[in-house]
Amino acid sequence: MERSRWMVLCAALAKVTRGLPRLKRARYTDFLVATYYFWGVLHDRPMTWALDPANHTALFRPRACPSVSQLNRRVASDRFQRILQRLHESLAGDGRFKGLLLDGQALCVGPVSRDRDARRGHVPGGFGKGYKLHAVVASDGGIPLFSVMPLNAHELPVARAMLAPRSGTTWRARW
């Protein structure tokens, strides 16, 4: 099962990264950075583990290896986030905009968490601290679009931002 998942992921990733212009002064391609990232994610391990050649198999044995700081810097960039979104859209399928449902789900962290990005907001039963997953769910159960925002972000502006670039129309709320 691991081999088939990895092959599907690499094929989709190659298709997504093929059309992007190459970064100036970048030593490693977007495809290589993304494969290191997904190698760690697939095995539920940190990026340092994914970079260690001792943890590579016949499925994944690249010749070049970026440093940990370089990999983390590239993964945190806006360009890589766009690559992840394109990959998600390509793997979600073509019938993803039939029967859309928009929803937000609170993802709370502990009250003593020192997470600087977590915000206070309404949760069922009072207030909490954390994030909110905003998702567009298709009628087939797929999630073609999603966004993780602070807990105090309202669903309506996030929904407008997620859907407006794809529809070409302006969304207006009717109360």
> Stretch 83-102: mean pLDDT, rounded?
72
For residues 99, 169, 84, 76, the Cα torsion angle rounded to the nearest 10 degrees is -140
Confidence of residue 167 (pLDDT cuts 50, 70, 90): low
Percent of the chain with pLDDT over 70: 89
Confidence (pLDDT) at 174? 38
Rounded CA separation 99/89 (Å):
17
Higher pLDDT, 27 or 140: 27
pTM of the model: 0.57
Q: What is the pLDDT of residues 41-58, one digit of tens each?
A: 888 888 889 889 888 888
Domain boundaries, the chain: 2-92, 101-167
Rounded CA separation 26/23 (Å):
5
Rounded CA separation 79/30 (Å):
9
Backbone angles phi, psi at 16, to 5 degrees: -70, -40
Q: What is the pLDDT of residues 127-147, one digit of tens each?
A: 888 888 888 877 777 777 888
